[in-house]
C-alpha cells in the first residue's frame, strides 16, 4: 500500500532547484550587464563628469564597448565573464576580478562567522524560550524574551554597530572599531551583524517549537514516556527545522547584504566597502562585478538552504513539485 | 497585542507625524544656525544633545530630519505598494503562461535582499531625494507583488468569486469589485510594516552616502556625519540612531495594531494558570489496571472560561478486561483516556480522589512523572491515537520510531531494537515489514500506520492498551481489520483494553463492558450483553437506536437524538440529559442523579431508569 518510492520525486526536486539557480544566475548576469545601459544619459559622460574633454569620453565609450551594437556587447560580456574577465576598474586601472579576489575573503569570513553565531545563539535561545513558554511557569522570563528579541530584531545592523562602537570603542575603549587586524577586530562587526538575525531566528524557533509541541505526534512521543530532553531534541527540534531553515536562509542572504553596511562602519576591507565607493565614484565595471559576486553569493546560499531543507525534511520534496 | 501596545502604537504615530509637520517650522533656527565657536559641544546648557561640527543643535537637527526621513519612507512605500499590487494582480488578468512567468520572476526578486536591490538601483539613478524614493519603491515592490499574488490566488479560489464568474462578471470588474476589497486589509497592514522597512533601507543608504545627499538631511545622513565625531560627542550619533529604531518600531506596531483593528488577527490567547485543583490521593494499589475515583479534567479557554470536560468520573478496568467508552463528541471520553494515560496537555487541570494506573498513582496533570513511573507507563501502557498520520513524527522512519521505545525503556541497542520493530510489524500482519520499517509516515496508508501504531505499543509488554477512536480516520474495510487486530493482540498478550469510540457498534464488537458518557459524566456502566437485553438509561437507548446496520429499515428516517449536548462550560444543577430526555420529569432538572447499581455489574445515573430492575 506504500506509495511509489520517494527517490524520483527527490531527484525532480533537485533538478528544479538547479534549474532555478541557473535561471536566477542568468537573470543576475543580464541585469548587471544592463546596469550600464539603464543609466540615464551617457554613462561614459556621467562617469567622467561634465568638464571632461570629448575625446576622453569617446575613449571611455569604446572601453565600455558602448560604440558597438547591443547584442554584440552582450555576447562579448558573456564571453569575457566565462574567462573570468570582469573588466578593468576606472579608478585603479586594475582588473576587477583581482580587486574582488583581494577582498572577498574578508567579507566571507565576516559573514560566515556571523552565520555561525546566528545559528548557534538563535537556535539555543529559541529552544530555551520554547521550553520556558511551554512550561507555563516563568511568565516574566517569557515576556522578557519576547520584548528583548523584538527590540533586537527592530534594530538595523548599522544602528547596532554605531551603538557598539559608542559603547565598547569610544566609552570603554576595549575593542578596536576600525579595520581588520587580529581576532579581536572581528568581535564588534560580527556581533553587530549577528544580533538582529539571531534574535529573529530565536523568535521563529520559539513560535515553531510551541506549534510543534501541540501536535499529535508529540503526544505519541509523550506516550512513549521519553525524557524531556529526548522529547525536545529528537522529536520537536527536527520538525521545527524546515521553517527555521527557510527563515535562516532568508536571514543569511540579508546577512550578506548587511556586510555592506557593517563594513562601512568598521572600515572593513571587504566587498561591501568597495561597492559603496565604486558607486559614489561611478566606477561602473567595479560596481557591476561586485553586484554580480554579491548576488551570486546570495543565490548560492539560497540554493544550499533548499538542499539542506530537502535533506532534513523528507516531505519538502513532495510539497514543492 | 494588548490594548496598551495598541495605544502606544497610535500615540507614537501621532507624535511622529506632529514632529514631522511642526519641527521644520519651529526649529528651523537652532537646526540651521551655524556657529563655529560652539562646534561639537557635549550635551548640556542650551543644547540637550550637544552641537555638531558647525555648532548646530543636534536635537533640533534630528527632529527637523524627521520630515524628510518619514516623507521619503511613506512616499516610497506607497509607490512600492502600487507597483507591487499592479504586478501581483497581473497574473489574474493575463494568460496562464505569462502568469507563471511573472510568478517566477516575483519569487526570485523576493528571495533577494532589499538592500542589494537598492544598491543596484542606486548605482543607476545616483542618490538624492527623488532617486532614493525610486530606489526604495523598487526594492519594496517584490514583497507586495508576492503578497498580492498569494492573496488574490486564495480569493480567486473562494466561492463568491466562482459565483461571480458564473454570472458572467468580466475580469476587470471581478478584480476591482471582488478581489481588491478582500485583499486590501492585509496589504494595508503589510504596508505599515513596509514603511518601517523603507525607513531602515533609506537610513542605511543615506548612511552609506548613496541615499539622501547633504545639504538635504535625513537620519541616515546625520548618523553618517556623527560617526566621524564619535570620539568628541557620542550623543550626536546616538540621537539619529535612536530615531531610526523608534521610527521603525512605531510603524511595525501600527501595522500590528491595524491588523487587530481590522480583525485580521485575533488577540493572542491568555494561558490560564494550571495549579491542580486537588492532588491525586495515594491509595493501596488494588489489582485493577485503572482505578479512577471522582476524576475531573478542566481545560481553561482563551477567553477565561473553563471547560469542564470530565466531571466526577469513577470507574475501574480489571486486568485483561476490555472496556469501551462511548458518547457523542465533546462528552469527555477522549479527555478521560488522556487523563488515565497521563497525557493531557500542560494547560489541563486534573483532580481526582484517586487516580491509579497499573497500580501506580499518577501525579496531577501528568507532569513531573518520576523515572520509575515513566518506565512503568512506557513499557506497560500502549496508546493508539485517532489520526495515525498525524501521530507519527513526519521526519523520521517508522522503524526508528518503533525502536525508540525499546531503546529508551528496555535498554536494547539500536540494532536489536530495529530488529524487534520489524518482528512486531510482522506480528500486526504488515507485509514486507523490513521495507515498511524504512519508510517515512507520509509514504504509508492510514491503515498501515494504525497497524504500525499498535505495533509500537507492542514493542514492550503492554498490560493496558488505550485506544482513542482508533478506527475513525480509516476506511470501513480497514476499520474491521484494525479492530480484529486489537482483539487478537489483547487475546494474545492478555492486556486490558480501554477503547474510546463514538460508535456503539465498534465497542459492542470488541469489548465486554461499556461506559456511556454524557456531558463529562458516566451515565451508564453496563456489560455488552446488557446492550441488547435493555440499557437502563434513556440516553443509551437513543444512542443504540441511532446505530445503523444491515438490518436497519431504510424506508424509515434515521433515528437522531433531538437537541444538542449542553454547553461544557455551564454547570446546570440537574441531570444534563434532562432537556433532551423523553422521560424527564420532576427532579430531573434540579437534582443530579448518582451513578448507582441497577443490576448485576450494571450501574446507571438516572432518576427514571427504564425497566427498573433494582
For every residue of B539-565, DSSP letters joined together read: HHHHHHHT---TTS-TTSPPP---S-P
State yes or no: pLDDT of B384 exceeds 50: yes
pLDDT value of residue B548: 60
State yes or no: pLDDT of A51 exceeds 90: no
| Confidence grade of residue B265 (pLDDT, cut at 50, 70, 90) | low
For chain A positions 243-302, those within 8 Å of chain B (CB to CB) are: 250, 253-254, 256-258, 260-261, 264-265, 275-276, 279-280, 282, 284, 287, 291, 294-295, 298, 302
State yes or no: pLDDT of B270 exceeds 50: no
Q: What is the tens place of the pLDDT at every residue in A179-210?
A: 777 777 888 899 999 998 899 888 888 888 88
Residues B576-586: b if buried by 16+ CB within 10 A, e if exposed: bbbbbbeebee
CB contacts of B383 in chain A (<8 Å) are 220, 223
| Confidence grade of residue B33 (pLDDT, cut at 50, 70, 90) | confident
How many degrees, rounded to 5, is the angle at CA B509 between CA B503 and CA B510? 95
State yes or no: pLDDT of A2 exceeds 50: no
CB contacts of B106 in chain A (<8 Å) are none
Q: What is the tens place of the pLDDT at every residue in B188-223?
A: 888 888 898 899 889 999 998 888 887 888 999 888
Distance of CA A64 to the CA centre of its chain: 30
Rg, chain B, Cα only: 34
Interchain CB distance below 8 Å, B115 and A258: yes
Give the residue from A224, A234, A252, A306 with the most B CB atoms within 10 Å of its CB, the best one to mutate: A224
| Confidence grade of residue B513 (pLDDT, cut at 50, 70, 90) | very high
Give the residue from B102, B208, B360, B387 with the most A CB atoms within 10 Å of its CB, the best one to mutate: B208
> CA of B292 to nearest chain A CA: how many angstroms apart?
19
Interchain CB distance below 8 Å, A6 and B113: no
3-state DSSP of A97-133:
HHHHHHHHHHHHHHHHHHHHHHHHHHHHHHHHHHHHH
Look over chain B and give the mean of its residue pLDDT values, rounded to a whole number. 81
CB contacts of A284 in chain B (<8 Å) are 123
For residues B96 and B240, the model is more confident at B240
Q: What is the tens place of the pLDDT at every residue in B472-489?
A: 877 888 888 888 888 888
B594 φ/ψ sector (left φ>0, alpha ψ -120 to 50, else beta)? beta
For chain B positions 266-305, those within 8 Å of chain A (CB to CB) are: 271, 274
Q: Are B591 and B573 in contact (CB under 8 A)?
A: yes
Q: Are B74 and B195 in contact (CB under 8 A)?
A: yes
pLDDT value of residue B121: 85
Residues B48-60: b if buried by 16+ CB within 10 A, e if exposed: ebbbbeebbbbbb
Measured in degrees and rounded to the nearest 5, phi and psi for residue B440 equal: -90, 155
pLDDT value of residue B369: 62
Q: H helices within B467-595, ranges in order? A: 476-493, 504-510, 528-533, 538-545
> Considering CB atoms only, which of B238, B377, B387 is closest to A166?
B238
State yes or no: pLDDT of A3 exceeds 80: no
Q: How far apart are CA A223 and CA B454, in angstroms?
A: 13
Q: Across A221-225, A258-262, B40-44, which has the greatest mean pLDDT?
A: A258-262
pLDDT value of residue B128: 83
Interchain CB distance below 8 Å, A276 and B111: no
| All three cell numbers of B265 | 488577527
Q: Are B316 and B290 in contact (CB under 8 A)?
A: yes
Interchain CB distance below 8 Å, A238 and B395: yes
Q: How far apart are CA A231 and CA A219, in angstroms?
A: 10
For residues A308 and B137, the model is more confident at B137
Average pLDDT over residues A298-312: 82
State yes or no: pLDDT of A23 exceeds 80: yes
> Considering CB atoms only, which of A6, A154, A171 is closest to B443?
A6
- The residues facing B343 across adjacent strands are none
The closest alpha carbon to B451, from B467, B494, B360, belongs to B467
Size of interface A-B (CB pairs under 8 A): 197
pLDDT value of residue A319: 47
State yes or no: pLDDT of A320 exceeds 70: no
Q: Are A240 and A209 in contact (CB under 8 A)?
A: yes
CB contacts of B394 in chain A (<8 Å) are 217, 239, 313-315
Interchain CB distance below 8 Å, B408 and A2: no
| Confidence grade of residue B370 (pLDDT, cut at 50, 70, 90) | confident
Q: How far apart are CA A243 and CA A309, in angstroms?
A: 9
| Confidence grade of residue B309 (pLDDT, cut at 50, 70, 90) | confident
State yes or no: pLDDT of B554 exceeds 60: no
Least confident of A28-37, A247-256, A257-266, B412-421: A247-256
Q: Across A242-251, B28-37, B232-241, which has the greatest mean pLDDT?
A: B232-241
3-state DSSP of B223-290:
HHHHHCCCCCCHHHHHHHHHHHHHHHHHHHHHHHHHHHHCCCCCCCCCCCCCCCCCCCCCCCCCCCCE
Interchain CB distance below 8 Å, B122 and A162: no
pLDDT value of residue B109: 82
Q: Are B596 and B605 in contact (CB under 8 A)?
A: yes
The closest alpha carbon to A259, from A123, A147, A158, A146, belongs to A158
Q: Work out the percent of chain B whose per-residue pLDDT is above 90.
A: 11
Q: How far apart are CA A32 and CA A100, in angstroms?
A: 16
| Confidence grade of residue A1 (pLDDT, cut at 50, 70, 90) | very low
Average pLDDT over residues A271-298: 89
pLDDT value of residue B158: 65
Average pLDDT over residues B245-273: 70
Q: Are B401 and B393 in contact (CB under 8 A)?
A: yes
Chain A residue with CA closest to B226: the answer is A162
Interchain CB distance below 8 Å, B374 and A315: no
> CA of A134 to nearest chain B CA: how many angstroms apart?
8
For residues A102 and B286, the model is more confident at A102
> CA of B164 to nearest chain A CA: how many angstroms apart?
31
Q: How far apart are CA B421 and CA A221, in angstroms?
A: 16
> Considering CB atoms only, which of B120, B125, B453 is closest to A291?
B120
Q: How far apart are the first and last CA of chain A?
A: 22
| Confidence grade of residue A6 (pLDDT, cut at 50, 70, 90) | very low
Q: How far apart are CA A119 and CA A98, in angstroms?
A: 32
| Confidence grade of residue B397 (pLDDT, cut at 50, 70, 90) | confident
State yes or no: pLDDT of B72 exceeds 90: yes
Interchain CB distance below 8 Å, B408 and A155: no
Q: Going by C-beta distance under 8 Å and a sequence separation of 6 or more, which residues neighbour residue A240?
A: A205, A208, A209, A212
State yes or no: pLDDT of B611 exceeds 80: no
For chain B positions 65-104, those within 8 Å of chain A (CB to CB) are: 104
pLDDT value of residue A100: 93
Q: Are B39 and B52 in contact (CB under 8 A)?
A: yes
CB contacts of B448 in chain A (<8 Å) are 1-2
Q: Are B141 and B147 in contact (CB under 8 A)?
A: no
In chain A, the domains with their CATH numbers are 106-282 (1.10.3720.10)
Give the residue from A217, A237, A240, A242 with the most B CB atoms within 10 Å of its CB, the best one to mutate: A217
Give the residue from B69, B116, B433 with the most A CB atoms within 10 Å of its CB, the best one to mutate: B116
Measured in degrees and rounded to the nearest 5, phi and psi for residue A42 equal: -95, 115
Q: Are B486 and B499 in contact (CB under 8 A)?
A: yes
Q: Are B497 and B322 in contact (CB under 8 A)?
A: yes
B7 touches chain A (CB under 8 A): no
The closest alpha carbon to A204, from A127, A133, A151, belongs to A127
Peptide bond just before B612 cis, omega within 30 deg:
no
For residues B165 and B329, the model is more confident at B329
A228 touches chain B (CB under 8 A): no
pLDDT value of residue A213: 81
Interchain CB distance below 8 Å, B395 and A313: yes
Q: Are A301 and A249 in contact (CB under 8 A)?
A: yes
Interchain CB distance below 8 Å, A225 and B112: no
Q: Are A33 and A77 in contact (CB under 8 A)?
A: yes
State yes or no: pLDDT of B447 exceeds 80: yes
Measured in degrees and rounded to the nearest 5, phi and psi for residue B301 equal: -90, 160
Average pLDDT over residues B151-171: 68
DSSP H or E segment with residue B294: strand B290-300
A239 touches chain B (CB under 8 A): yes
CB contacts of A227 in chain B (<8 Å) are 374, 408
State yes or no: pLDDT of B580 exceeds 50: yes
| Confidence grade of residue B75 (pLDDT, cut at 50, 70, 90) | very high
| All three cell numbers of A80 | 569575457
Measured in degrees and rounded to the nearest 5, phi and psi for residue A302 equal: -60, -40
Least confident of A17-26, B10-19, B25-34, B280-289: B280-289
A47 touches chain B (CB under 8 A): no
For residues A98 and B238, the model is more confident at A98
pLDDT value of residue B68: 92
pLDDT value of residue B268: 43
Q: How far apart are CA B514 and CA A38, in angstroms?
A: 80
Interchain CB distance below 8 Å, B113 and A264: no
Residues A47-77: b if buried by 16+ CB within 10 A, e if exposed: bbeeeeeeeebeebbeebbbeeeeeebbeeb
Q: What is the tens place of the pLDDT at every residue in B108-134?
A: 788 777 788 888 888 888 778 888 899
State yes or no: pLDDT of B281 exceeds 50: no
For chain B positions 559-588, those within 8 Å of chain A (CB to CB) are: none
Amino acid at each position: 500500500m506504500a506509495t511509489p518510492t520517494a527517490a524520483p520525486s527527490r531527484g525532480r526536486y533537485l533538478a528544479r532547484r538547479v534549474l532555478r539557480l541557473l535561471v536566477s544566475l542568468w537573470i543576475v548576469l543580464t541585469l548587471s550587464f544592463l546596469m550600464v545601459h539603464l543609466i540615464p544619459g551617457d554613462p561614459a559622460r556621467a562617469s567622467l563628469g561634465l568638464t571632461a574633454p570629448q575625446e576622453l569620453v569617446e575613449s571611455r565609450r569604446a572601453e565600455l564597448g558602448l560604440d558597438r551594437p547591443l547584442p554584440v556587447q552582450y555576447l562579448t560580456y558573456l564571453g569575457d565573464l566565462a574567462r573570468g574577465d570582469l573588466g578593468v576598474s576606472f579608478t585603479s586601472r586594475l582588473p576587477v576580478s583581482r580587486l574582488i579576489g583581494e577582498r572577498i575573503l574578508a567579507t566571507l569570513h565576516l559573514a560566515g562567522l556571523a552565520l555561525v553565531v546566528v545559528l548557534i545563539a538563535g537556535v539555543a535561545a529559541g529552544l530555551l524560550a520554547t521550553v520556558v513558554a511551554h512550561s507555563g511557569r516563568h511568565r516574566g522570563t517569557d515576556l522578557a524574551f519576547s520584548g528583548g528579541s523584538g527590540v533586537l530584531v527592530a534594530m538595523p545592523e548599522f544602528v547596532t554597530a554605531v551603538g557598539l562602537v559608542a559603547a565598547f570603542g569610544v566609552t570603554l575603549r576595549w575593542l578596536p572599531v576600525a579595520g581588520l587586524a587580529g581576532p579581536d577586530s572581528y568581535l564588534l562587526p560580527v556581533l553587530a551583524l549577528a544580533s538582529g538575525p539571531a534574535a529573529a531566528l530565536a523568535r521563529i524557533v520559539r513560535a515553531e517549537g510551541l506549534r510543534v509541541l501541540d501536535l499529535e505526534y508529540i503526544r505519541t512521543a509523550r506516550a512513549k514516556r521519553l525524557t524531556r530532553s529526548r522529547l525536545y531534541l529528537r522529536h520537536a527540534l527536527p520538525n521545527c527545522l524546515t521553517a527555521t531553515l527557510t527563515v535562516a536562509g532568508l536571514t543569511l542572504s540579508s546577512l550578506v547584504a548587511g556586510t555592506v553596511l557593517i563594513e562601512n562602519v568598521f572600515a572593513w576591507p571587504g566587498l561591501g566597502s568597495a561597492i559603496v565607493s565604486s558607486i559614489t565614484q561611478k566606477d561602473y565595471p567595479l560596481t557591476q562585478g561586485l553586484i554580480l559576486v554579491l548576488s551570486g553569493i546570495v543565490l548560492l546560499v539560497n540554493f544550499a538552504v533548499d538542499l539542506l531543507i530537502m535533506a532534513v525534511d523528507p516531505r519538502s520534496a513532495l510539497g514543492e513539485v | 497585542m494588548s490594548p496598551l501596545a495598541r495605544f502606544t502604537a497610535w500615540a507614537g504615530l501621532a507624535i511622529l507625524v506632529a514632529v514631522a509637520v511642526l519641527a521644520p517650522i519651529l526649529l528651523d533656527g537652532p537646526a540651521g544656525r551655524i556657529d563655529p565657536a560652539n562646534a561639537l559641544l557635549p550635551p548640556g546648557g542650551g543644547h540637550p544633545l550637544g552641537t555638531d561640527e558647525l555648532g548646530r543643535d543636534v536635537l533640533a537637527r534630528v527632529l527637523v530630519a524627521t520630515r524628510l526621513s518619514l516623507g521619503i519612507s511613506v512616499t516610497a512605500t506607497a509607490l512600492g505598494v502600487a507597483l507591487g499590487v499592479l504586478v501581483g494582480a497581473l497574473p489574474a488578468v493575463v494568460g496562464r503562461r505569462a502568469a507563471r512567468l511573472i510568478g517566477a520572476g516575483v519569487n526570485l526578486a523576493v528571495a533577494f535582499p532589499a538592500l542589494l536591490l537598492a544598491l543596484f538601483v542606486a548605482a543607476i539613478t545616483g542618490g538624492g531625494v527623488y532617486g532614493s524614493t525610486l530606489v526604495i519603491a523598487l526594492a519594496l515592490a517584490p514583497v507586495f507583488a508576492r503578497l498580492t499574488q498569494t492573496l488574490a490566488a486564495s480569493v480567486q479560489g473562494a466561492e463568491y468569486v466562482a459565483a461571480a464568474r458564473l454570472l458572467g462578471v468580466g475580469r476587470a470588474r471581478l478584480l476591482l469589485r471582488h478581489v481588491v476589497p478582500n485583499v486590501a486589509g492585509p496589504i494595508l497592514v503589510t504596508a505599515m510594516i513596509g514603511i518601517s522597512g523603507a525607513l531602515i533601507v533609506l537610513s542605511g543608504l543615506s548612511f552609506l552616502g548613496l541615499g539622501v545627499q547633504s545639504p538635504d538631511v535625513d537620519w541616515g545622513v546625520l548618523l553618517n556625519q556623527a560617526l566621524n565625531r564619535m570620539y568628541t560627542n557620542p550623543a550626536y550619533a546616538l540621537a539619529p540612531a535612536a530615531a531610526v529604531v523608534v521610527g521603525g518600531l512605531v510603524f511595525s506596531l501600527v501595522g500590528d495594531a491595524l491588523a487587530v483593528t481590522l480583525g485580521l488577527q485575533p488577540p493572542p490567547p491568555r494561558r490560564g494558570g494550571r495549579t491542580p485543583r486537588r492532588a491525586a490521593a495515594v491509595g493501596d494499589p488494588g489489582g485493577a489496571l485503572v482505578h479512577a475515583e471522582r476524576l475531573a479534567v478542566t481545560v481553561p479557554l482563551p477567553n477565561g472560561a473553563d471547560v469542564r470536560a470530565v466531571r466526577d468520573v469513577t470507574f475501574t478496568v480489571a486486568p485483561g478486561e476490555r472496556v469501551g467508552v462511548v458518547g457523542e463528541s465533546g462528552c469527555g471520553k477522549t479527555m478521560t483516556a488522556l487523563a488515565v494515560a497521563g497525557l493531557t496537555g500542560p494547560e489541563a487541570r486534573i483532580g481526582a480522589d484517586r487516580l491509579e494506573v497499573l497500580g501506580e498513582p499518577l501525579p496531577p496533570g501528568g507532569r513531573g512523572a518520576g523515572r520509575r513511573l515513566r518506565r512503568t507507563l512506557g513499557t506497560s501502557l500502549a496508546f493508539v491515537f485517532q489520526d495515525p498520520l498525524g501521530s507519527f513524527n513526519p521526519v523520521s522512519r517508522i522503524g526508528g520510531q518503533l525502536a525508540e521505545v525499546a531503546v529508551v525503556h528496555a535498554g536494547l541497542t539500536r540494532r536489536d531494537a530495529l530488529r524487534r520493530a520489524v518482528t512486531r510489524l510482522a506480528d500486526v500482519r504488515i507485509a514486507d515489514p523490513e521495507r515498511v520499517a524504512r519508510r517515512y509516515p507520509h509514504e504509508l496508508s492510514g491503515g498501515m500506520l494504525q497497524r504500525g501504531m499498535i505495533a509500537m505499543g507492542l514493542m514492550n509488554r503492554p498490560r493496558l492498551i488505550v485506544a482513542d477512536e482508533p478506527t475513525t480516520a480509516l476506511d470501513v474495510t480497514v476499520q474491521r481489520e484494525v479492530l480484529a487486530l486489537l482483539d487478537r493482540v489483547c487475546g494474545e498478550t492478555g492486556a486490558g483494553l480501554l477503547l474510546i469510540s463514538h460508535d456503539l457498534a465498534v465497542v459492542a464488537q470488541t469489548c465486554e463492558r461499556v461506559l456511556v458518557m454524557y456531558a463529562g459524566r458516566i451515565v451508564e456502566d453496563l456489560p455488552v450483553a446488557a446492550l441488547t437485553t435493555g440499557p437502563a438509561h434513556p440516553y443509551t437507548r437513543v444512542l443504540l437506536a441511532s446505530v445503523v446496520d444491515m438490518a436497519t429499515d431504510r424506508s424509515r428516517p434515521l433515528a437522531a437524538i433531538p437537541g444538542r449536548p449542553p454547553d461544557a462550560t455551564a454547570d446546570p444543577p440537574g441531570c444534563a440529559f434532562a432537556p433532551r430526555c423523553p422521560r424527564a420529569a420532576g427532579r430531573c432538572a434540579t437534582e443530579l442523579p448518582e451513578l448507582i447499581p441497577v443490576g448485576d455489574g450494571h450501574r446507571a445515573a438516572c432518576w427514571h431508569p427504564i425497566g427498573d430492575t433494582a
